[in-house]
Structure 1
Amino acid sequence: MVKSPNEKIVVGIFNSNNTEKGKWFLNVKLNNNGIITNTISAIDLGLMLSEGVSFDEMKLMKTSKPLLIKENYSMPHGKSSQRQNIGNEVVFTFENNENRKLNLIVRVYNDGIAFRYSLSGKGNLTVQDELTSYTIDKETTRWKEKWNPANEGLYSSMVGEKIQQEEWCYPALFQTKDNCWFLLHESAVDGNYCGSKLSNKSDKNKYKITFPNPKDGRGKGESLPKIALPWMSPRRVIILGNLNDIVASTLVEDVAPPSVIKNTDWIKPGAVSWNYWSDNHGTKDFKTICEFADLAVKMNWPYTLLDWEWDAMGNGGNLEDALKYIHSKGIKPLIWYNSGGDHTWVASTPKDRMLTHENRVEEFSKLKKLGVAGVKVDFFESEKQNMIQYYIDILEDAAQFNMMVYFHGCLVPRGWSRTYPNLMTYEAVRGAEWYNNGPEFTTTAPIHNTILPFTRNVVGSMDYTPVTFTNSQFPHLTSYGHELALSVVFESALQHFADRPEGYDELPDEPKNFLKEIPTHWEKTILLQGFPGKDVVIARNKNSKWYVGGINGENIEKNIKINFDFLDKNKKYKLRLIKDGKHDKQILTQDSVIESTDSVEVKVLRRGGFVAVISPL
């Protein structure tokens, strides 16, 4: 048995035969306000390896004494800057029929658990199957996204007879009938393994760790991971507690390896102007580049992105001209690349400049001389072991040139931002770009936006490309207040504001000024209220100010009450509230003085929203 430091989470281990030998399972219980909830009744354990090595039927040989894990570390970006990582670790040592040993390393934290396998010895093996699977009660509600290599689907809610049998993306959210919440994910995935997904195809209430489809990435790369002993698996992570515990958790990064970058002073989060949403071919046009550079200057945003087709730029200038103009305005350029290689069908150029170490060194050397601050690398299309190594190779080479990185068409975060803090954000979300792809997102976005803070955005920065007031190819139904609030509700270290210049120029002064000052990295994050698919209100702290964002996903007007008990007692604060007006395109501002004992009721339109800035007086 392993307990969290506050003793609210208890992980037990048991045997199917109730004897010293057999199949082994973990059991997870939560003390939910004095009520013991059997949160996950069984987690199957084991590995099947090549050469007939099986860790299915095993004998428990020994259990270590609990070891206190205590770490403090800081992050240059993310939902909180100072992290405290405290948990209890126990190692269970098993032996199989061939007298080979397998260690199960279990850590229990106040906000969840993480476990991994380790093998000692020498030699090379292939993992034929990982037996880890989570048995979930059928009365537990679940929010899950059907598997797709770009992780850009919608989440569906299901329970009981409506549970579908599919392969599913990480992370997956669950709510027990006793109102305990947990999120399944993984961390510390490296080149020694592949990324995994969840499948309940064999048993609808068992979610099994499943390896990539051999067809992913155009069939390139092996789907079964090859391991060299000694070896440790990725960590299987369960974030556990109430909804605020889920939203505020940094567990996925806490259990990843520490930073390999000693000096992080050059890593600068910030807001970015982005021309692709409003003009899919905007980077081809030198004048469009200049307009978005000017927008960044007007809005006090430090970056502008040159997206695809920058190598085909015309209408008055080429890449060098564009970079010269951007630098003359005192801002920094970011630049797009195709990940290249045979793993992607996408032929867009520049295609292969990230593909090999030699390519990257040559390209990063050029970019450094040109004053480019970071690269966006797109179209990975696989989570096989070779692709995991490719991601990490890009991050390591980029760090040698003080180059920030973000990934698109990619996997969901696996804790890498702690190890490589030059990794600023990932797409892996159905974001505002989907207003270009068809009419569906017009109707699904409002609810989708209220699910993401409890799922995808929990586990790392999310490049949704938010805050658009005009329309792209297909319109949105969200109010201006809702769109403005996404700047707080969604966290991304490089926050790409996607609208065209006039979308921001035509705003009233108060929301415009709000977007000029909104941070993109935070000291603290708190969920004030919400429920996936209905609404969400999040408060984030930076430099003694609190920024609050609230959105309504439903097709009904609401009065949302904000309590200010998270503020320091005996202090007075100025509250600036920017909220929905009488119709979707109206934004109203009101100022007041508040204390921690006060509360405010905000009327939001259907699919509406609001923001607030709380400053100490």
Structure 2
Amino acid sequence: MKNVFYKSTLLFGFLFVIFSCKTSTADDKQNQTINYGATEVSLFSATNGQLAFQVTKDQNIVLDTSLLGIKIDDKLLGKNVEVSLLEQEKVKIEYPLNGIKSEASYTGDLYTYKVSEADGTDWKLEFQLSNEGVAYRYVVSGQGTQHVQGEESSFKIPSQTKVWYFERDSDWKLKSHAGEWLSADISKMPTVSKMGPIQGLTLTCELPQGGYAFLAEAALYNYSGMRLEAVGNNTFKANFEEGDAGFDVTGDVTTPWRCILLADTLNDLANNTMVASLNPAPDPKLFADTNWIKPGKSVWHWWSGKYVNYKEEHDMVDDAVELNFSYNMVDDGWERWPDKWTKVTELSNYAKEKGIGIFIWKHSKEINFLEDDYAVMGHFLDSVKQTGAVGVKVDFMNGQSKSIISFDETLLKKAAERQLMVNFHGCQQSSGEYRTYPNEVTREGIRGLEVNHMKEGPLTASHNAALPFTRYVTGHGDYTPLGFTEPGETTWAHQLATLVTFYSPFNCIAENTQFLLKTKSIQPALEFIKTVPSVWDETFVLPQSKIGELAAIARRKDKDWYLGVLRSGATQEMIIDCSFLSDGEYTAEIFTDDTEAERIDLKGLNKETDLRQWDTAVPFKKRTETVSKDKTIIIQLAEHGGAVIKFIKK
């Protein structure tokens, strides 16, 4: 990671003419509008007097009349109010990014409004518009404790919109956000889930006029994480884990940004950085030095044996060296080792000699105590640091209440003070926290490959083909890719492609290291597995891509390009236009489904598997071609198949 955090300029505009938005009828909204390019936001009072807004792009409705407002201390703010524009600012920021690109560049307009209640009290409403979308938040000044009891915030989606949401047939759905990505018409959302009308963020909307709207939140700090309840009339309403009980905020209430990302193409959507850009820049004192934050791949024993012993983890360090990986993720089980801290220290010292860093797992409930500024957490992190380990994997937060969000931020801050990286599991999706705390090197909040080992698994190919355009839009995900020994309905080439289509600065590879190193049929791809990056300089989504059916994503690192293709559905011939390449020739190493070869017998390859009916898999084959940007490559995709191409610059 670069040491320079960001270059930021705020070019202040001038004070605009004050205007009022009074109660009006549907025919007399007296709209006040702001715009950025082809995107326009209208702010007005709805028929019931509640403050509302509407979003259009290219004169097409993206959000119809959607309410604004927040309830604090038994008072609903935003009804029968007057609104005046205080200030407009130009926002332009650039900052390093560990993920889809090496640097994010974001420009937009920030509008700050004063909202005057009938009783004379004031609060602020902020809107930010850019080419990447629209976002807003509430800022309510206060002293002492303010009690938040919910929001009126709603999002009315156009009819005939296809909504992508994650589903899980258990109460884990909204605890871990590890659901399967499915789609339904907006009209079906109140009843589509057996778990009720509440959906977790994010939601990807395929608009009837074309293009995409993506509902998310950004900068989730000192607040409860927002879910969305489908209330009918094509509308989602803000919902919080605390329900009617609400939650307390000390001092000013500044909500997270409520985001409507906008994209004409899937390439625009996958490259959208608005969520991260709405987060504060890192604390320059806390992150004065960031050389200790190093992206890389990790070995992981859990896939082949869940509860580990010291010798196995010692051997995993050696395998990490042979695989050219950077880390060893020591999961649940190390705390049962005799003299555990001494053993972890020995392991860390051995790993350090080999150039490998150690991450260790911890259950959140054992360090989530508020007393003395989370003293128990601090003592644990001190012990981790003293062993020489470089990071922690903290698990089972199981929710997104305000108290859990406060725990998450405290952990990131205290870990950064000790120069420790963090991997969150059993958590909600990202809201861009990794910009403010770049020591968050991955988080779950995703239905990842571990599900293949569970009764509710395995993952479907359509879920994988949806992920780059749903969960991954807001940030990295600890999917733990690459599962040759239990691929479910997918092929080995499909599994190989997940190393490119999914991204995580700390990329924890699932497959048994010895299987990778010693299995003859894997060897043609072993060098690719060793060298594929975990972060990228540039990302390009091929235009054939379609959510849930085909994800074809090219990513550049330095001079080389990598292309991953995930297919859900029947066999397909695909023509790859190489025009995304730079000038000059490339050696293309092409891994595709080998449909003519004998299927791989998966039985007995992994003692942890529950293969069900998927006890064989289509292997991959490799070929090499010389290509340039004016060439095309033809590949054959098997049912639920995939492909990987590494373009090596000559």
One-letter amino acid matched to 2:448: G
Counterparts of 2:354 and 2:452 in 1: how far apart (Å)? 31
Q: Does 1:385 align with 2:399?
A: no
- Of 611, 633, 637, 1:604 maps to 637
- Of 577, 581, 584, 1:567 maps to 581
Correspondence for 1:217: none
The CA deviation at 1:387 is 1.1
Q: 1:286 to 1:351 in 2, by over 3 A?
A: farther
- Of 381, 384, 401, 2:418 maps to 401
Correspondence for 2:554: 539
Correspondence for 1:198: 228
Correspondence for 1:553: 568
Correspondence for 1:41: 64
The CA deviation at 1:321 is 4.2
One-letter amino acid matched to 1:41: D
Correspondence for 2:387: 370
One-letter amino acid matched to 1:107: Q
Does structure 2 conserve the Cα–Cα contact (< 8 Å) formed by 1:338 and 1:352?
A: no
Structure 2: 5+ residue runs without aligned partners? 1-32, 168-172, 192-196, 598-616
- Of 460, 477, 483, 1:445 maps to 460
Does structure 1 conserve the Cα–Cα contact (< 8 Å) formed by 2:156 and 2:233?
A: no
Does structure 1 conserve the Cα–Cα contact (< 8 Å) formed by 2:368 and 2:407?
A: no
Q: Does 1:246 align with 2:297?
A: no
Does structure 2 conserve the Cα–Cα contact (< 8 Å) formed by 1:291 and 1:501?
A: no
Correspondence for 2:310: 286
Counterparts of 2:457 and 2:238 in 1: how far apart (Å)? 30
Correspondence for 1:207: 236
Q: Secondary structure at the match of 1:541?
A: strand
Does structure 2 conserve the Cα–Cα contact (< 8 Å) formed by 1:194 and 1:224?
A: no
Counterparts of 1:562 and 1:16 in 2: how far apart (Å)? 49
> For structure 1, which segment, 449-458 or 162-171, has the greater mean C-alpha deviation from structure 2 after superposition?
162-171
CA deviations on 1:442-491 (whole Å, 9 max, x unpaired) are 3x4211111111111111110011101113xxx62211100000001111
User: Identity of counterpart residues, as a percentage?
Assistant: 26
Counterparts of 1:493 and 1:379 in 2: how far apart (Å)? 21
Counterparts of 1:508 and 1:379 in 2: how far apart (Å)? 34
Q: 1:305 to 1:123 in 2, by over 3 A?
A: closer
Counterparts of 1:399 and 1:320 in 2: how far apart (Å)? 20
Correspondence for 2:35: 3
The CA deviation at 1:138 is 3.0
> For structure 1, which segment, 253-262 or 350-359, has the greater mean C-alpha deviation from structure 2 after superposition?
350-359
Does structure 2 conserve the Cα–Cα contact (< 8 Å) formed by 1:256 and 1:418?
A: yes
Correspondence for 2:216: 185
Q: Secondary structure at the match of 1:66?
A: strand
The CA deviation at 1:262 is 2.5
Counterparts of 2:80 and 2:211 in 1: how far apart (Å)? 32
Q: Does 1:173 align with 2:204?
A: yes
> For structure 1, which segment, 295-304 or 359-368, has the greater mean C-alpha deviation from structure 2 after superposition?
359-368
Counterparts of 2:188 and 2:408 in 1: how far apart (Å)? 37
Correspondence for 1:154: 180
The alignment yields a C-alpha RMSD, in angstroms, of 2.4
Correspondence for 1:109: 130
Counterparts of 1:160 and 1:121 in 2: how far apart (Å)? 38
One-letter amino acid matched to 1:298: E
> For structure 1, which segment, 403-412 or 155-164, has the greater mean C-alpha deviation from structure 2 after superposition?
155-164
Counterparts of 2:553 and 2:454 in 1: how far apart (Å)? 29
- Of 344, 361, 364, 1:339 maps to 364
Counterparts of 2:135 and 2:124 in 1: how far apart (Å)? 14
Q: Secondary structure at the match of 2:150?
A: strand
Does structure 2 conserve the Cα–Cα contact (< 8 Å) formed by 1:313 and 1:319?
A: no
Correspondence for 2:506: 494
Correspondence for 2:248: 226
> For structure 1, which segment, 256-265 or 416-425, has the greater mean C-alpha deviation from structure 2 after superposition?
256-265
Does structure 1 conserve the Cα–Cα contact (< 8 Å) formed by 2:187 and 2:232?
A: no
Q: Does 1:138 align with 2:159?
A: yes
Correspondence for 1:304: 328
Counterparts of 1:190 and 1:180 in 2: how far apart (Å)? 30
Does structure 2 conserve the Cα–Cα contact (< 8 Å) formed by 1:339 and 1:355?
A: no
Correspondence for 2:627: 594
Q: Secondary structure at the match of 1:290?
A: helix
Correspondence for 1:14: 44
Counterparts of 1:120 and 1:145 in 2: how far apart (Å)? 35
Does structure 1 conserve the Cα–Cα contact (< 8 Å) formed by 2:82 and 2:117?
A: no
Correspondence for 2:442: 425
Correspondence for 2:648: 615
The CA deviation at 1:121 is 5.0
Correspondence for 1:275: 301
Does structure 1 conserve the Cα–Cα contact (< 8 Å) formed by 2:345 and 2:388?
A: no
Q: 1:105 to 1:366 in 2, by over 3 A?
A: same
Counterparts of 2:370 and 2:385 in 1: how far apart (Å)? 15
Q: 1:223 to 1:274 in 2, by over 3 A?
A: farther
Q: Does 1:518 align with 2:532?
A: yes
CA deviations on 1:54-99 (whole Å, 9 max, x unpaired) are 2131333312453211111113x12112111100122222211211
Structure 1: 5+ residue runs without aligned partners? 215-221, 342-349
Q: Does 1:481 align with 2:493?
A: yes
One-letter amino acid matched to 2:34: V
Report the TM-score, using the length of structure 2 for normalisation. Answer: 0.85
Q: 1:3 to 1:574 in 2, by over 3 A?
A: farther
The CA deviation at 1:557 is 0.6
Q: Does 1:236 align with 2:258?
A: yes
Matches within 5 A, 1:56-67: 56-64=78-86, 66-67=88-89
One-letter amino acid matched to 1:433: E
Q: Secondary structure at the match of 1:387?
A: helix
CA deviations on 1:201-257 (whole Å, 9 max, x unpaired) are x3251101101146xxxxxxx952323443321101111112221111111101001
Counterparts of 1:145 and 1:303 in 2: how far apart (Å)? 30
Q: Secondary structure at the match of 1:533?
A: coil
Aligned structure 1 segments of 4 or more residues deviating by more than 4 angstroms: 314-318, 350-356
Q: 1:42 to 1:516 in 2, by over 3 A?
A: same
Counterparts of 2:233 and 2:34 in 1: how far apart (Å)? 28
CA deviations on 1:258-300 (whole Å, 9 max, x unpaired) are 012232111001100001122111x2x2232133222211110
Q: 1:370 to 1:354 in 2, by over 3 A?
A: farther
Counterparts of 1:421 and 1:223 in 2: how far apart (Å)? 33
Correspondence for 1:218: none
What is the aligned residue count? 580
Counterparts of 2:150 and 2:347 in 1: how far apart (Å)? 51
Counterparts of 2:372 and 2:55 in 1: how far apart (Å)? 43
Report the TM-score, using the length of structure 1 for normalisation. Answer: 0.89
Q: 1:434 to 1:352 in 2, by over 3 A?
A: farther
Does structure 1 conserve the Cα–Cα contact (< 8 Å) formed by 2:158 and 2:208?
A: no
Q: 1:160 to 1:257 in 2, by over 3 A?
A: closer
